[in-house]
């Protein structure tokens, strides 16, 4: 066993994790973890705030779902692998590897010349991102007792809060710039990850000193392959089913492949037993089973709202990417407030069961009220709803993961944490694909309906046709496109599904039918999201309460192994 050093000798050496770590030692380890998490969290907020500009520049607004979905698909698939492999080889090497892959993917994204190319490079990013969150949470699960873990939620929320504020501002700045140092402004959205990632690698190397006892397990590569076969076709079906036709040969083929992959995955996992990438025995534990389903539903509702709200602010309200990002600040404050509240209360009372229920109930109400938001709804009301939405998320952010970590054996912390993260990411990927599919499939019909009320037969619209304000060139192009479209919508060259930037340039009276159509399509998305959140709330009522542990996973593994023979050596990483 490698012995650590006393706290007064500094934190650069490997701490002795058999004994409770001091606050200073934990914070030192947290430094490396937070920088890695900051890398992924900042990327998500930067890209979300700039995606409309990116999609418009690449002439494929509708295709933005591919870039988002590709990232989520790959990060989802590899998350269980990171958990299992880190149980075998240690957390630190895998965490550093994840950062390196993320940097590579970011560099590739700066070279994208089309939306499909960007989607492919975002998939590479996702291969790295899949390990950043799950491994950071697993390491905290290793070194901090469950009862005390909530004390450190504030540090993680500071990461999310900082990235949520900085991301939209930085992303908006880059998106609005034509070029910076000869490179298109939006490409810096991805390029900025390179220096941050390099700094993260350096900090991790210097601060993340852990002990690891190698476990002699096989890696479940066949299970990972079967999981890919199951997940990818079903997600592609969710994304493209409306174009293919849900009963078309193509759709049914993808569905068949996905279901066959799911059956194969379950068979392989059963055969692999303890070696499985997702051990099925874990889901027999009621807390894990309930939390897993809740995580899927929570991910769907969360990503559905977080993708739709920025689109509403930018397209319907005409906000710039930077302004839209700053308008999201109430949601960020809600998330931080909810998380800090649960962290303090859990540390004080040791009880966590009711917080996910309250959070999901609030989330369902907030999304249902968003259903009544129109194109001219006051921004103040929208921000109040965003605060409630964020607060509901904050009550759930770490609580379900904490419940899963506390319910399993200490030796399963890595795979259990990655499983919980995996289930939430599955939900997020499905939510993004399904909700954006609902949005864009309903949009043409909603715009057509709005045209009958606010279009050429409307006095204000007719006046704008005769004496338009705004950009003369944009108005002239729109009028020409309107005629080509038969007067019922924009014709060739001005398709809001491909490029919505013209809506900010033409006369607001001419743009009104399109804005109303977008708003009403988003109303449908929020209504669907509220139903999903309600289902999550009802399901979570089954969540049992398990007394929180007062020892870290490292200490418990030491106690369990006391007197045992044949264990592998513990080595510093």
Domain boundaries, the chain: 7-219+277-444+522-572, 220-276, 445-521
Could you list the pLDDT tens digit for every one of the 573 residues in the chain? 333 333 333 344 555 555 566 777 777 778 878 888 888 878 877 887 777 778 777 766 666 667 777 887 788 788 888 877 887 777 888 889 999 999 999 999 988 888 888 888 999 999 998 888 888 888 887 777 766 776 676 677 667 767 766 777 787 788 777 778 878 778 888 888 888 889 888 888 887 766 655 555 677 788 888 888 888 888 778 767 767 777 889 889 999 999 999 999 999 988 887 778 888 888 888 988 999 899 889 988 887 777 788 888 888 888 876 777 778 888 888 888 888 888 778 877 878 888 999 999 999 999 999 989 888 888 899 999 999 998 998 888 778 888 888 888 777 777 787 888 888 878 877 887 788 778 888 888 888 888 888 877 888 888 887 787 877 777 777 777 776 655 545 555 555 555 566 777 788 888 888 888 888 888 888 999 999 999 999 999 998 877 776 655 555 655 555 545 444 444 334
Give the separation between CA 522 and CA 526, rounded to whole angstroms: 6
Res 570: pLDDT:
41
Topology (CATH) of 7-219+277-444+522-572: Growth Hormone; Chain: A; (1.20.1250)
- Please report which helix (H) or strand (E) contains residue 402, including its range: helix 399-407
Burial of 203 (0-12, 13-18, 19+ CB in 10 A): middle
- Phi-psi category of residue 322: left, alpha or beta, with phi > 0 → left and psi -120 to 50 → alpha: alpha
Contact 35, 200 (CB under 8 A): yes
Exposure string over 361-392, b if 16+ CB within 10 A, otherwise e: bbbbbbbbbbeebebebeeeebbebbbbbbbb
Comparing C-alpha atoms, which of 151, 139, 152 is closest to residue 211? 139
The DSSP bridge partners found for residue 211 are 572
pLDDT at residue 267, rounded to an integer: 92
Q: Which of 85, 196, 102 is nearest to 138 (CA)?
A: 85
How far apart, in whole angstroms, are the C-alpha atoms of residue 417 and residue 421? 6
Q: Which residues contact residue 409 at a Cβ distance below 8 angstroms, ignoring those fewer than 6 apart?
A: none
């Amino acid at each position: 066993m490698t012995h650590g050093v006393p706290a007064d000798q500094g934190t650069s050496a490997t701490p002795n994790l058999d004994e409770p770590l001091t606050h200073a030692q934990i914070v030192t380890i947290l430094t490396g973890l937070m920088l890695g998490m900051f890398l992924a969290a900042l990327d998500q907020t930067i890209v979300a705030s700039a995606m409309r500009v990116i999609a418009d520049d690449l002439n494929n607004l509708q295709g933005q779902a591919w870039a988002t979905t590709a990232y989520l698909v790959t990060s989802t698939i590899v998350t269980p692998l990171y958990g299992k492999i880190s149980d075998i080889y240690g957390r630190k090497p895998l965490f550093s590897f994840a950062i390196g892959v993320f940097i590579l993917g970011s560099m590739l994204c700066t070279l994208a010349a089309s939306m499909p190319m960007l989607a492919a490079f975002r998939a590479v990013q996702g291969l790295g991102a899949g390990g950043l969150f799950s491994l950071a949470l697993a390491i905290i699960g290793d070194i901090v007792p469950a009862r005390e873990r909530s004390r450190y939620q504030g540090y993680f929320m500071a990461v999310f809060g900082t990235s949520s504020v900085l991301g939209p501002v930085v992303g908006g700045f880059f998106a609005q710039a034509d070029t910076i140092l000869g490179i298109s402004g939006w490409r810096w959205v991805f390029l900025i990850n390179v220096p941050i990632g390099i700094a993260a690698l350096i900090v991790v190397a210097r601060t993340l000193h852990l002990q690891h006892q190698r476990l002699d397990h096989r890696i479940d590569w066949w299970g990972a392959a079967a999981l890919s076969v199951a997940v990818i076709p079903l997600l592609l079906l969710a994304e493209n089913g409306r174009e293919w036709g849900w009963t078309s040969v193509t759709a049914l083929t993808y569905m068949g492949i996905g279901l066959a992959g799911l059956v194969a995955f379950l068979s392989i996992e059963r055969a692999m037993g303890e070696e499985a990438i997702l051990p099925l025995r874990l889901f027999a534990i009621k807390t894990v089973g309930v939390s897993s389903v809740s995580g899927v539903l929570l991910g769907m509702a969360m990503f559905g709202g977080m993708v739709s709200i920025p689109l509403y602010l930018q397209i319907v309200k005409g906000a710039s990417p930077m302004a839209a990002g700053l308008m999201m600040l109430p949601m960020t404050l809600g998330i931080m407030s909810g998380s800090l509240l649960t962290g303090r209360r859990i540390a004080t009372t040791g009880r966590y069961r009711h917080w996910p229920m309250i959070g999901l109930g609030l989330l369902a109400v907030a999304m249902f009220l968003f259903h009544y938001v129109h194109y001219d709804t006051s921004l103040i009301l929208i921000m109040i709803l965003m605060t409630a939405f964020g607060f509901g998320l904050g009550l759930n952010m770490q609580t379900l993961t904490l419940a899963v970590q506390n319910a399993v054996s200490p030796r399963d912390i890595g795979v259990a944490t990655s499983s919980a993260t995996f289930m939430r990411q599955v939900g997020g990927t499905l939510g993004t694909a399904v909700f954006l599919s609902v949005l864009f499939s309903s949009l043409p019909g909603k715009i057509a309906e709005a045209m009958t009320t606010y279009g050429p037969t409307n006095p204000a619209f007719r006046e704008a046709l005769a004496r338009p304000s705004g950009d003369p060139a944009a108005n002239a192009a729109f009028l020409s496109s309107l005629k080509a479209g038969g007067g019922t919508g924009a014709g060739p060259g001005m398709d809001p599904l491909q490029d919505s930037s013209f809506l900010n340039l033409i006369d607001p009276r001419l743009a009104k039918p399109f804005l109303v159509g977008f708003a009403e399509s988003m109303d449908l998305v929020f209504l669907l999201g509220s139903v999903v959140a309600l289902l999550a709330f009802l399901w979570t009522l089954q969540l049992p309460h398990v007394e929180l542990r007062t020892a870290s996973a490292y200490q418990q593994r030491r106690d369990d192994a006391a007197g045992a023979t044949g264990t592998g050596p513990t080595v510093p990483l």
